[in-house]
Structure 1
Amino acid sequence: MLNWSAKRPVIAAVAAILALSACGSGDDSGATGKKDSDGVITVKLGVVGPKTGPASLYYKYMDQNFETFSDDFEEKYKVRFEIIGEDDQASPEETARAVSRLINEEAVHAILGPPLSGNALQVADVIQKSQIPWLLAGPNADEAINYDIQPNWAFQTNFTNQQIMEILGTRLFADNNKVGIVYSADGFGQSNLDHLKSWAKENGKKLTAEESLQPGSSDANAIIKRFKSAGVDSVFMGITQGADTATVTRAIEQAGYEPKTIMTTGTILTNYKTIAEPSQWENIQIVDPRNFLEGGDKEILDAVQEATGEAPAIPTNNISTYAMLDIYAQAVAEVGDANDREAVRKAMEDIETVHIGSLTIEKPFTTTDHKLYDDDPANWLTYGFDEKFNLKLLGTAEECLEKGC
């Protein structure tokens, strides 16, 4: 049973401070990766992400999780995390520098992040060659894990772009709809485009329009005008940040454009609501394998809210980060020594049960599949939004494909 109390012992405060301040290596902190006299294993965990800059929410959700749950894994598995935080400023070059420092100077036992797909792709080869457990709780890019490398050191607890396209493709192209995609001009957006085009080709379909949007753009009117002129009646927004999604939906409203279907991803939950109007989100839907409204997934989000006094920064990633830490902590506990990286990696691969609050997922991984979720539409949910931007469940993805939502 997890302790959902907002009142945490001293270790919680220490972990949060370290995460925020990016303290040094902590060589005298006891983070040896081995059991201490009380049987607790302290792991030195490198955390990479944009603490500063416009994408800072992608680091904040990790901080929230450590502040909220730092004692849970010690209680459950006798594994404690010492956080060595690195600010990559959402820059691929800074990500490469941060990862190099964590591996070569800090000698961390595992790396969590970076949360942005483009940055993860930048360091994928380096981390794999370093043979260190790589905890991918944020990125969606399938390419982040190259399964030609065996044994493989990366594990994903977020859904991948290929998985979501298997769910969205049928929905977007239903009733012979003409489909257009607007995507971020970054790794996440490009991966969304590539996988949607691949799904379309495999299923005898073709995109009517594809448009890229530079992060931070304030105007998408030309894009929407071209969609409207091309007769696009089904729109997919593969956009990294909610603020950029708001730019697109504002342009849709201003153009009086009314496509039959507007789908996007859970990234809309980041910073969209504060700069958009209810009329701009009333017809938008998302699909996700997590249940944000009840059960274990919701328990994680509620616990973050209670402990931090803030809404989860990126709900999808708050959940996937908890799942990843549960997997890694279990593996370390089973092996008994975080320094034995190969044994820890194998224990992660052989994990029996992932715990996300009261939700359990059984045996998610194989040697050639390090993804937590699958692409069965019966296991995905479709959500819309009410006038206050609260999620409302419309049905499973399978039900919405069959009956409409």
Structure 2
Amino acid sequence: MKRFAALALALLVSAGVQAQDIKIGGLLETSGFVASLGQPGLDGAMLAVEQVNAAGGINGRKVQFVNVNSESDNTKTVSAAKRLIEQEKVVAIVGPMSSGSSFAVVDTIEKARVPMISNGASRGIVLPPEQKKFTFLAPLTDVVVQTAMLKDMQAKGIKKIAILNSDVAFGTSGRDSLEKLAGDFGVQIVAKETFGNADTDISPQLTKIRGSDAQATVAWATGPGLAISTKNHRALGIKTPLYLAHSANDFNYLRLAGDSANGVLLPSSKLYVTASLPAGDAQKAVVEGFVRDYEKKYGKLPATFAGNGYDAAMLLMEAIRKAGTDPAAVRDAIEGTKSHVGVTAFYAYSPTDHFGTKPESVVMLTVKSGKFELATAQ
């Protein structure tokens, strides 16, 4: 009888272990200056987890998503990552929306050997890949989107441009990337200006750009700075085209920039223009399904950053499904992903490519009457 009781207890304990939730961590900022990106990112990640759990979880186990709000602070992001790894024992992490916070946390991730898919868009976050083996990206990267943007300029005969960037990691990384790429498309940078991420007036920098012979201006930033630069650009009567970073493909930008946004150009994911995509586009059905499910759950249309969070969570869960819950095996499975069709992009990683997103994921958008539309000249 004692033997039977001991066996029954062992089976119950074993069943409890088998049924234990799989924990995925999140470092998504729901307060502070990146909250307008982090909250949609969290909403997207939570939707992904909800969908996987509704379909039976991963190999019969439910997924638990544990997000720690870093308050858009780099130091707090590092503390949050340590908490997720050491206390919550997460298998993998959906990383910050902020490039700066992503850079700040990479050392912690690599030392702990727990995979993270960051939502920062600076390629430097994962470079060089042989030193950042556990760090990957989900968003469209600066090189991918800038290539689409420079091709658009090339088609329009634009040969001289000015760069206006914010002083945070996303802005400076984007500027550095554009400086390296421009020459390949016959484009010369004739003016460079930087503004503070908290600046409320960028007119002095744009006045200098207006005095140059630039045929177009590229503004590279996140948050309110893009809307402020757009308004100041219009107020100064600058008639040459204004190109924006892909971070402008956000409803908050439209709200803050108002009528000034009409006519801007930006590289983007396909999230806002699914109705204009051809029926054969492999992302069309995926994006339409995401938009439908997101609107049903949250009562509003998703921002681009929601798609980033959704993709990062789905990529992690797909890797866990293939590899189990050992973080090193999950890392290998992410790196072995070759054909994931996501909301933001087509994803294919490799030992030398932790960016993931492919060029065919990008379209050029403009704004008309306060709405995003496909630009006529691609």
**Fold-level similarity (TM above 0.5):** yes
Tell me the secondary structure at the aligned position of residue 230 of structure 1.
coil
Q: Distance in 2 between matches of 1:269 and 1:43?
A: 32
Which structure is higher in helix share? 2
Could you say which residue in structure 1 is the equivalent of 2:24?
45
Tell me the secondary structure at the aligned position of residue 373 of structure 1.
coil
Seen in structure 2, the aligned counterparts of structure 1 residues 262 and 367 have a Cα distance that, compared at 3 Å, is closer
Structure 2 counterpart of 1:214, from 196, 199, 220: 196
Structure 1 counterpart of 2:214, from 232, 254, 258: 232
Residues 357-372 of structure 1: pairs in structure 2 closer than 5 A: 361=346, 364-372=348-356
Tell me the secondary structure at the aligned position of residue 194 of structure 1.
helix
Structure 1 counterpart of 2:79, from 97, 100, 125: 97
Tell me the secondary structure at the aligned position of residue 208 of structure 1.
strand
TM (normalized to structure 1)? 0.79
More deviation in 366-375 or 347-356?
Answer: 347-356
TM (normalized to structure 2)? 0.84
Q: Distance in 2 between matches of 1:384 and 1:318?
A: 20
Alpha-carbon offset, residue 150 of structure 1: 5.9
Provide, for residues 101-135 of structure 1, a one-character-per-residue CA deviation record: whole Å limited to 9, x for no partner.
Answer: 22223322111111110110111122122110112
Q: Is the 8 A contact 2:41 2:309 kept in 1?
A: yes
Q: Is the 8 A contact 2:364 2:374 kept in 1?
A: yes
Could you say which residue in structure 1 is the equivalent of 2:336?
350
Does residue 1:293 correspond to 2:273, yes or no?
A: yes
Q: Distance in 2 between matches of 1:59 and 1:89?
A: 9
Seen in structure 2, the aligned counterparts of structure 1 residues 77 and 167 have a Cα distance that, compared at 3 Å, is farther
Does residue 1:271 correspond to 2:259, yes or no?
A: no
- Structure 2: state its 5+ residue gaps: 1-13, 275-283
Could you say which residue in structure 2 is the equivalent of 1:283?
263
Q: Distance in 1 between matches of 2:186 and 2:367?
A: 32
Could you say which residue in structure 2 is the equivalent of 1:60?
39
More deviation in 151-160 or 188-197?
Answer: 151-160
Q: Is the 8 A contact 2:106 2:132 kept in 1?
A: no
Provide, for residues 234-259 of structure 1, a one-character-per-residue CA deviation record: whole Å limited to 9, x for no partner.
Answer: 11111111x21111111112111111
Q: Is the 8 A contact 1:353 1:360 kept in 2?
A: no
Task: Give percent identity, aligned residues only.
Answer: 17
Q: Is the 8 A contact 2:135 2:354 kept in 1?
A: yes
Alpha-carbon offset, residue 77 of structure 1: 6.2
Tell me the secondary structure at the aligned position of residue 327 of structure 1.
helix
Tell me the secondary structure at the aligned position of residue 293 of structure 1.
helix
Q: Is the 8 A contact 1:351 1:365 kept in 2?
A: yes
Q: Distance in 2 between matches of 1:54 and 1:215?
A: 9
Does residue 1:112 correspond to 2:94, yes or no?
A: yes
Q: Distance in 2 between matches of 1:257 and 1:360?
A: 34
Could you say which residue in structure 2 is the equivalent of 1:179?
161
Provide, for residues 206-259 of structure 1, a one-character-per-residue CA deviation record: whole Å limited to 9, x for no partner.
Answer: 311111121232111111111111132211111111x21111111112111111
Q: Distance in 2 between matches of 1:201 and 1:177?
A: 9
Aligned length in residues: 351
Structure 2 counterpart of 1:168, from 134, 146, 149: 149
Does residue 1:328 correspond to 2:316, yes or no?
A: yes
Seen in structure 2, the aligned counterparts of structure 1 residues 39 and 267 have a Cα distance that, compared at 3 Å, is farther
Q: Is the 8 A contact 1:245 1:268 kept in 2?
A: no
Q: Distance in 2 between matches of 1:132 and 1:98?
A: 14
Could you say which residue in structure 1 is the equivalent of 2:3?
none
Structure 2 counterpart of 1:375, from 348, 354, 359: 359
Q: Distance in 1 between matches of 2:158 and 2:342?
A: 39
Alpha-carbon offset, residue 323 of structure 1: 2.0
Q: Distance in 1 between matches of 2:27 and 2:301?
A: 22
Q: CA RMSD in A?
A: 2.6
Provide, for residues 309-350 of structure 1, a one-character-per-residue CA deviation record: whole Å limited to 9, x for no partner.
Answer: 1332xx222222222222221221223x31x11222222222
Does residue 1:146 correspond to 2:134, yes or no?
A: no
Q: Is the 8 A contact 1:237 1:265 kept in 2?
A: no
Q: RCO (CA 8 Å, sep 6+): is it higher in 1 or 2?
A: 2
Seen in structure 2, the aligned counterparts of structure 1 residues 67 and 109 have a Cα distance that, compared at 3 Å, is closer
Could you say which residue in structure 2 is the equivalent of 1:132?
114
Could you say which residue in structure 2 is the equivalent of 1:306?
296
Q: Distance in 1 between matches of 2:22 and 2:88?
A: 12
Alpha-carbon offset, residue 161 of structure 1: 1.1
Matched letter for residue 284 of structure 1: V
Tell me the secondary structure at the aligned position of residue 192 of structure 1.
helix
Residues 11-26 of structure 1: pairs in structure 2 closer than 5 A: none
Alpha-carbon offset, residue 352 of structure 1: 5.2
Does residue 1:84 correspond to 2:70, yes or no?
A: no
Q: Is the 8 A contact 2:91 2:114 kept in 1?
A: yes
Alpha-carbon offset, residue 66 of structure 1: 4.4
Report which of the two structures shows the higher radius of gyration computed on alpha carbons. Answer: 2
Residues 238-249 of structure 1: pairs in structure 2 closer than 5 A: 238-241=220-223, 243-249=224-230
Seen in structure 2, the aligned counterparts of structure 1 residues 281 and 344 have a Cα distance that, compared at 3 Å, is same
Q: Distance in 2 between matches of 1:149 and 1:356?
A: 25
Does residue 1:317 correspond to 2:299, yes or no?
A: no
Q: Distance in 1 between matches of 2:77 and 2:70?
A: 5
Alpha-carbon offset, residue 37 of structure 1: 6.7
Q: Distance in 2 between matches of 1:143 and 1:390?
A: 32
Q: Distance in 1 between matches of 2:235 and 2:318?
A: 51
Q: Is the 8 A contact 1:290 1:380 kept in 2?
A: yes
Seen in structure 2, the aligned counterparts of structure 1 residues 236 and 324 have a Cα distance that, compared at 3 Å, is same
Q: Distance in 2 between matches of 1:304 and 1:36?
A: 34
